[in-house]
Amino acid sequence: MSLFACPHCNVVENTATGFFWNAKRREEVRCSECYSGKWHGRFPKMQADDEWILDDHQHGSDVWPPFITKPIKESS
């Protein structure tokens, strides 16, 4: 699942549920709530806090906004 941080509200969004692939310009990319006024509800809404990191390996660094991922914490 490709995730990005909405450049308008910094919420974590899936490229398939937000307005990502259909955006003609970078300025148009946004989450479902910023695009339609309503969150899709397919997963809980959360902010892209400091635990999220850039995921350049998934599709290359030319994608904007860049994809993000949350590192898996190793169990001890």
**In the predicted structure, residue 27 carries a pLDDT above the cut 80:** no
The label of the residue with tokens 């397919």 reads 42
pLDDT at residue 62 in the model: 58
Q: How far is CA 6 from CA 11, 22, 35, 75, in A?
A: 5, 14, 10, 30
Q: pTM for the complete prediction?
A: 0.76
Kindly report the backbone phi and psi dihedral angles of residue 49, in degrees, each rounded to the nearest multiple of 5, phi listed first. Answer: -80, -170
CB 39 within 8 A of CB 32: yes
The label of the residue with tokens 């995921």 reads 55
Mean pLDDT computed over 1-5 = 85
